[in-house]
Amino acid sequence: MKYLAHKSKSAATLSGLVMFSWVLSGGMPRPVEPPQAILVLGGAPTREKFAAKFAKQHPNLPIWVSSGSPEEYSHYVFDKAGIPRSRIHLDYRAVDTVTNFTTLVDDLQAKNISSLYLITSDYHMPRSSLIGNIVLGSRGIKVQSISVPSESDTETADKAIRDGFRSVVWLFTGSTLN
């Protein structure tokens, strides 16, 4: 019974965070703006490989890779796909999923990016989308999720709740509670 009560509480908290991010991002759906950039979250080399193929289909979009593979490997992956290095922005400031967004939001805003494709693994996407909608949404940047297929189980709601809370704290304090 305790387990069910805990799950119910987690679901209610997650629902609240989702609603909060919905309000931050403007609430009602608006016409989708075409994305102006690609943001790839590090954590698995398959994400960069997927992004390189995806970027070939979107030849005018800059690519931001947040704390991905080592620079030499990232360049190799994008070079092999024929993606000019001038399109690629490698950033290694992030130490986790929340800081993937908080370290880049100012850079993206400075480039007048108001909409982007978010690329990460399918199991990681629910939490990443929540964080992205809170952090990027607070600056008017819309997120369109593109999941990289994997064989991993979706992350637990507890991780999303924790990082959603950290994202909200960042909004008010500038700290991610690392």
What confidence category does residue 133 fall into, taking pLDDT thresholds of 50, 70 and 90? very high
Q: What pLDDT, on the 0 to 100 scale, is given for residue 62?
A: 98
Distance CA 40, CA 88 (A): 11
SS3 of 34, please? coil
Does 31 have pLDDT greater than 60? no
pLDDT in tens, 69-90: 999 999 999 999 999 999 999 9
DSSP assignment string, 69-83:
S-HHHHHHHHHHTT-
Flag whether 1 is in a domain. Answer: no
- The number of distinct structural domains making up the chain is 1
CATH of the domain at 163: 3.40.50.620
Distance CA 178, CA 168 (A): 13
Does 128 have pLDDT greater than 70? yes
pLDDT in tens, 32-66: 689 999 999 999 999 999 999 999 999 999 999 99
Flag whether 108 is in a domain. Answer: yes
Domain interval for residue 93: 33-173
Query: Under a CB-based contact definition with an 8 Å cutoff, are residues 66 and 39 in contact?
Result: yes
Distance CA 93, CA 84 (A): 23
Residue with tokens 């001038």: 86
Flag whether 73 is in a domain. Answer: yes
Residue 30 amino acid letter: R
DSSP assignment string, 106-168:
HHHHHTT--EEEEEEETTTHHHHHHHHHHHTGGGT-EEEEEEEP-SSPPPPHHHHHHHHHHHH
Flag whether 149 is in a domain. Answer: yes
Flag whether 103 is in a domain. Answer: yes
Residue with tokens 């949404």: 137
Reported residue count of the chain is 178
Flag whether 6 is in a domain. Answer: no
Residue with tokens 């993937």: 100
Distance CA 130, CA 115 (A): 15
Starting at the edge strand that comes first in sequence, how are the strands of the sheet with 142-148 ordered?
A: 88-91, 63-66, 38-41, 115-121, 142-148
Flag whether 134 is in a domain. Answer: yes
Q: What pLDDT, on the 0 to 100 scale, is given for residue 134?
A: 97
Flag whether 64 is in a domain. Answer: yes
